[in-house]
Structure 1
Amino acid sequence: MKSLLTLLALLITAASFAQLKEAAPETAGASSERLKRIDQLFKTYIDNKWISGGTAIIVKDGKIIYYKAAGVSSLDTKAPMQKDAIFRIASQTKAVTTVAIMMLYEEGKLLLDDPVEKYIPSFAKPQVLDKFNAADSSYTTVPAKRSVTLRDLLTHSSGVGYAQIGSKEARSIYAKNGIWGGIGVENGMILGEKIKKLGSLPLLHQPGEKWTYGLNTDILGYVVEVVSGQSLDQFFKKQIFEPLGMNDTYFYLPKEKTSRLVKLTAEDENHLVKSVKEEALNLSGPVRVNYPAEPGTYYSGGGGLSSTALDYAIFMQMLVNGGEYNGKRILSPFSIRMMAAKQFDKFTSPDTDMGLGFTVYTDRSVAYSPLSPGSFEWGGMFSSTYWIDPKQKLVAQLFLNQYPNSHSEIHAKFKVLVYQALRE
């Protein structure tokens, strides 16, 4: 038994030092024939004009067993989608910011139960919304019972709401104070200035009282800046992207890579895919659709990154490897175990738990999902999904760039088609 455990440890170590490469699915216990069903899934949704195209990648046992592009990257030019197409990953940025916080935690520079005001003084003595007047966005408040902590932010239990896509109260109060969701904002906005202002605004409920999706991870992004002394852009680049070899992930793309950015699509009144003019996306306020290809200064830790299927697979593989990839250790296995552990007992889903920055699958989840208990995931508002399954040593990603998407069930079908192709 001891020799078997030693062998398994050596195999895991070897996997963490290897770069991702394509391999025959059968070498990782999967079926080439059954993976073709994903091709048909893409074809069905493209032929029906439900989506314009996308990319998908599956990595099992450290081997890329599926990596394809389908459809077009622009409905206007009909340019074929390429595997290295760059997508707006929106809230998939949250996973990267969470990792950055855990890196600083491992360096002894912060604790997860630290109050936010330790790093951002404007969050001291928080107030909670009591009465709200929709006519003029005025409100009254009551004192919060305690400070907001970093753990509250990581679990979306702080009481901070979301600008543009949150409750009517959050949308109104934040807009009146110039707080936006961080995607497609005007050039010249600075993260620290907006987060400091956000700290002076009321919480929607008492910290820890319930789960509310909000600008929590943008706040954490600024905490990274304060603690590290670097912009979030530079911290990501120097501490995560460059060590891992993620060469196509940015807040704002270099000019030589802008041609690879997928054009955003939307839907017409019949829920069929259509082109989006660069100024046409409106989320309770204008959003510059082409923001990744333009100059920018706002580094949204909650939604600002763009990336490729391969780059994000590398990031996920680091997590499934226990924090290491290509010989570079980003986190310890113990921190990743914390990230995938239940952190909040008032999460709104009855079958999944809220970890640190991720939704975590449980023993209850197996009744409706093929993902193994302990798998963790999030997604992006432009119709993208990913997950990490440590038990199966599997990561997968489906990128579309469409908002809204009435046919988002394609993501659930993609999950089914990944697991039905596994033999063991």
Structure 2
Amino acid sequence: MTGLRGILEPPVDAGTLPGAVALVARGDAVEVAAVGSCDARGGAPMARDTIFRIASLTKPITAAAALLLVEEGALALDAPVTPWLPELADRVVVRTPSGPVDDVVPARRPITLSDLLTFRAGYGFPADFSLPAVGLLFSELLQGPPQPQRVAAPDAWIEALSGIPLLHQPGEAWLYNTCSDILGVLIARVAGQPLARFLDERVFAPLGMVDTGFAVPAASLGRFTEQYRAAADGSGALEPVDARDGQWSREPAFPSAAGGLVSTVDDWYAFARMLLAGGTLPAGSGRLLSPESVRMMTTDWLTPAQRAGGELFLEGQGWGFGGSVDVRVRDPWNVPGRYGWVGGTGTAAHLVPSTGAVSILLTQLELGGPTPPPLMRAFWEYAANG
């Protein structure tokens, strides 16, 4: 077996992965492979237009949406977000990350849009999930694996967040995930419309991303995957997590800008091509973003200490706006400047501005933790080296 199919077929044949769809583009050469089935019972075969829960591949799209508002002058990168998120005014910070949540000090400054885009606002996941302030993100906000029908509506969600102290001072440390969900609430309030509608009108429609959204329409459920996790006993058996007609079959109360979207390989590829073209829309039909916005998205903003603090998630990578940035060649798949991210539902998407390469892997098997699985690493090596 050669090519993408040679990467995807072994775990499918072994029964440890129901199926996958992958795309690798090197310039104008595009290779796509669809292997296996949409469910573990041998149902509909995977196809190029199969729809997946893309989880944290939502984050770069959210960052781009925020930058649209910056370019319009509705937001400024270094300005406080409290005019639109008054719930986050007068923040307090735990005196020490491991300390009790009622032992706090005032935040030295307000949270800015730049803090949210770079994940340095003080909210999110560190390496130690057992810290008291982090525990509240799980218990009060249901942060973690996407579960769209269980999370409160945006106003109630941000109100609950206001009762949780920051883990670090704004701008001090990189913390995973929560900042993207805050961005989603911010975008909706600044735009004066629900986040889903803003993304539909301002991002998905211009890019032709016809299968991307926070829910799957009834007419498209036949192309939607079921979601699984590996059994905890290490047997390789698959346990169902969400059915085709489950949590994504109707619009959620809380559209998670951190991990709530569904999409296809070609939809995310359209988004990647826009970034590679410096923000230009297909066929030169105008711009979605300016080249400067794209440059900021795909630039590492972290200090060496902040990268080291995020090692559990970043593995030595930096962080741009909504996605990681490879800052050094450490492994066969690392390419300096590669931008993108992975999703906890078993997805990954990256692009390399210097070469025009794009790699997208969509599966329906949850990751067992922050460390990418062997299949994902093999896919990255193939995308980097052929």
For residues 237-285 of structure 1, the C-alpha deviation after alignment (integer angstroms, 9 at most, x for no partner) is 0001011111000101111112211111111222514141549xxxxxx
For residues 93 and 274 of structure 1, what CA distance do their matches in structure 2 show? 25
2:274 is aligned with 1:347: no
**Local SS of the residue matching 2:349:** strand
Structure 2 residue 9 is matched with structure 1 residue 43? yes
Name stretches of at least 5 consecutive residues in structure 2 with no aligned partner: none
Number of equivalenced pairs:
373
> Given residue 414 of structure 1, which amino acid in structure 2 is its aligned partner?
F
Q: 1:328 and 1:255, CA in 2 relative to 1: closer, same or farther beyond 3 A?
A: farther
**Alpha carbon RMSD of aligned pairs, Å?**
2.6
Structure 1 residue ranges without an equivalent (≥5)? 1-34, 280-287
- Percentage of matched positions with identical amino acids: 29
Q: Show the counterpart of 1:390.
A: 353
Query: How many angstroms apart in 2 are the aligned matches of 1:316 and 1:107?
Result: 22
Indicate which of 298, 310, 320 corresponds to 2:266: 310
Cα distance, 1:417–1:171 mapped onto 2, change above 3 Å: same
The answer for the alignment partner of 1:28 in structure 2 is none
Please show how residues 361-380 of structure 1 align to structure 2 within 5 Å: 361-362=326-327, 365-380=328-343
Q: Matched residues in 2 for 1:277 and 1:241: separation?
A: 27
User: 1:172 Cα shift?
Assistant: 3.1
How does the TM-score come out when normalised to structure 1?
A: 0.81
Aligned to 2:307, the other structure's residue is in SS state coil
Is contact 1:132–1:140 with CA below 8 Å preserved after alignment? Answer: no
Is 1:257 the counterpart of 2:211? The answer is no
Equivalent residue runs for 1:269-288 within 5 Å = 269-276=233-240, 278=242
Distance 1:177 1:256, change over 3 A: same
Matches within 5 A, 1:174-323: 174-181=137-144, 183-186=146-149, 189-268=152-231, 269-276=233-240, 278=242, 290-323=246-279
Q: Deviations over 1:384-413 (max 9, x none)?
A: 111111111111100111124488121111
- SS of the residue corresponding to residue 329 of structure 2 reads helix
Residue 161 of structure 1 aligns with which residue? Answer: 124
Structure 1 residues 132, 97: closer, same or farther in 2, change over 3 A? closer
* SS class of match (2:68): helix
Contact persistence 1:86–1:248 (CA under 8 A)? yes
Q: Secondary structure at the match of 1:58?
A: strand
Please list the CA deviations of residues 76-126 of structure 1 after superposition, one character each: whole Å capped at 9, or x if unmatched. Answer: 243321221110011111111100111111111111111121220111111
User: 2:67 matched to which residue of 1?
Assistant: 102
Greater Cα shift, 168-177 or 332-341: 168-177
Q: Tell me the secondary structure at the aligned position of residue 224 of structure 1.
A: helix
**Alpha-carbon distance in 1 for matches of 2:225, 2:277:** 30
Which of residues 67, 76, 90 is equivalent to 2:32? 67
| Closer, same or farther: CA 178–337 of 1 in aligned 2, 3 Å | closer
Give yes or no for contact 1:132–1:139 (8 Å, CA) kept in 2. no
Distance 1:138 1:170 in 2: 6
Structure 2 residue aligned with 1:331: 289
The answer on whether the counterparts of 1:182 and 1:298 sit within 8 Å (CA) in structure 2 is no
Structure 1 residue matching 2:321: 3-state secondary structure: coil
Tell me what 1:121 maps to.
Answer: 86
